[in-house]
Amino acid sequence: MRFLSLIRVDENTGQVPSQRLIDEMTVLIGEMRAAGKLLDTAGLQPATELTRRFVEIHGDEWNVECEVRQVAEPGI
């Protein structure tokens, strides 16, 4: 089963990613790829737990919204 996780960030705030966010996101993405959980930056599996972690890394300084949807498998 595949899922697509959509992260929304208010782009009108003028915020730029902090070095902490960049560093922690780099580690998380590396872990997910190494574990075979991240297919690319458009898909997470299992999406709910990894997406929760992805959103938590942004901390309180970001107003982040996330939507998780299942991706239909070809031929199903």
Write down the domain spans for the chain.
2-10+18-71
Q: Specify the higher pLDDT residue, 18 or 11.
A: 18
Q: Specify the higher pLDDT residue, 68 or 75.
A: 68
Cis peptide bond N-terminal to 46, omega within 30: yes
Write down the pTM of the prediction: 0.56
* Residues in contact with 74: Cβ distance below 8 Å, sequence separation at least 6, in sequence order: none
CA–CA distances in Å: residue 45 to residues 16, 24, 35, 61, 65:
27, 19, 10, 26, 18
Are the CB atoms for 57 and 21 separated by under 8 Å?
Answer: yes
